A and B are shown apart, each in its own frame.
Chain A
Amino acid sequence: DGGITQSPKYLFRKEGQNVTLSCEQNLNHDAMYWYRQDPGQGLRLIYYSQIVNDFQKGDIAEGYSVSREKKESFPLTVTSAQKNPTAFYLCASSTTGGGSGANVLTFGAGSRLTVL
């Protein structure tokens, strides 16, 4: 079955540590996205990528980094510079890119990061 796989599902981190969240898709989608979800807030865009080796900052990119070396993979690193990293992180993909509202997003199951 085609879909998006995020790992790990749960992750605990000590303050000052970088962590990397994995996102893999087998939908052959060109565009991939990372969102952050906090209670009482809508999904907020961290980064997105339309094609391999290219990505753009979203609304809350500070303290995060990404790479897009393969079409299928879009890992997110939460760095120690992110002041409030505890959140639910969602990876998504769409057939075409640009962050346009015309695109239908397919989401992964999410990764919950807790900073101790």
Chain B
Amino acid sequence: QKEVEQDPGPLSVPEGAIVSLNCTYSNSAFQYFMWYRQYSRKGPELLMYTYSSGNKEDGRFTAQVDKSSKYISLFIRDSQPSDSATYLCAIGSASKIIFGSGTRLSIRP
């Protein structure tokens, strides 16, 4: 079993839709939770970072962590074509960071 599982997609939604991206993880030692966005042929950039259960909001983006279920989500409201990218979840412990395989998202105008 992989330490973090992420649906690779691709996911295609119309502009303005709410997008939900999800990851599950297997080890409760992981305490840090991140979402990175990666445009084609570019390096990932950090979108959201949290270390507690619950929701964290930043503009149109909301990161949700449920430690009891070992489940993390990223919600994108009012999605825009510029949100089309691959989204990588990442989980971290005191000694390492594990990345999900990424979900490819396409927003249709």
Contact = CB atoms under 8 A, between A and B. Distances in A.
A105 B49 CA distance: 11
Contacts of B71: none
A108 B98 contact: no
Q: For chain A, what secondary structure do more than half of its interface residues adopt (helix, strand, loop), or is it mixed?
A: loop
A100 B93 contact: yes
B95 A99 contact: yes
A40 interface: yes
A99 B43 contact: no
B61 interface: no
Nearest to B89: A42
B41 interface: yes
Interface string A94-116: 00001111111111111010000
Interface of B: 4, 6, 8, 30-32, 34, 36, 41-46, 49, 51, 88, 90-102
List the 9 closest pairs (A to B, CB-CB), nearest first: A101-B92, A107-B43, A42-B99, A101-B32, A43-B99, A42-B101, A101-B97, A109-B43, A107-B44
